[in-house]
Structure 1
Amino acid sequence: MSDGVKRRYDSTRRQEQARETRSRALTAAHELFVTRGYGATTLADIADAAGLATPTIYAAFRNKVTVLHRVWDVAVGGDDRDVHLLDRPELRAVFAEPDLRARLLRFAVVNTTIMRRTARLRLVIQGAAGADPAAAALLAEIDEARLASMGEHARAAEATGRLAVPADTCRDVLFATTDGSLWLTLVDRRGWSDEAYATWLGQLWTAALVDAGE
């Protein structure tokens, strides 16, 4: 009995250690990708920054594009849990808001938080996509997933009866304003606060998408 308990403990401890190793590597990789660029960062660089052996990085991720993909996933979700973005509590709260105007304002706040985590990284992936087919494929996957998510938002908006434009137009407006470029321009380059940006984005969406006659 005690041996069984010990084996379970050892297995749990090993899983925790492996998760901690991956987390350290991904945190280091995110910082290096953003500051140095994808092409200039090696797996050895990531290992060194994370305080890990290079073979450990290879064993955990196999190659650099897998690291990039996992860094992106963690940045989007905010952690390494295997939970789809739309199923996370902050997005479920957005969809649960019955008033479309209030919903878009809330979504703007959530999206701004996501942009804080992802906008610079997406710029890195865009830069890498021109020379690396694997990075280009990742960028296409990212945009396809985002378009699908904005489609979900648009269909839910249409269901409120308050949408002023066709659902496809709503989807495309949301898609065009959530790739990080606006956040980079106004927050990173022009010095807006995240709060000011979220307020402006929410007002932009409500003016363009909500039926003012209702």
Structure 2
Amino acid sequence: MTCKSKIILYFELQTNMNEHQNDSQLIKAKVVDINNHVIDFICIDYKLLSKVIHQATFLFIIEQQSLRVFCHKRSQQKQYQPGALSTCFTGIVLESEDYRQCAKRKLTQETGLELDLTYLNSFYYESKQNKIWGQIFYTFYDGQIINFIQDPKEVQDIELMSYREIIIREQNGEKFIQESMQALHFLNKRVLRQ
């Protein structure tokens, strides 16, 4: 095989590999230090992200009349805690966006809604499985939840729950994502007050 043939074959292999490469390997998340300063970017892969501090948004959708929260069951296809309940819609902040842009993207992606968001606060969360600098946003929505799920790869089911109901269900053994629970406690202190 000539040198020219080897080069052509190499480029054909690279092109073929790139065409089949997972989208999540092309999209990068922000890696931050303990003070929430961006220090790097990393492919969105749970095994990689679990080893570094990264940014994420926590978006609560609240029924204004009852102050119940739109909780959801995560899709079984999710890398991180598939099938677990979450009190809010979460998203990893991408290289090209800030926290608010991430929250808006997740709102549209997972619910199809376009609503104004209110910033609540920032917080740090760390466990054996995750290290996050998060920002909490919330919005009010009094519409129907029929056909609310836009992306079944993200969300399996949606259910309205009060703060107390969430606490009771967790105490009775239902699996809630813990970082979403921490964010919920902040929301309750300042917004729900239940």
Structure with bigger RCO (C-alpha 8 Å, 6+ apart): 2
- TM-score by length of structure 2 reads 0.28
- TM-score by length of structure 1 reads 0.26
Max radius of gyration: which structure? 1
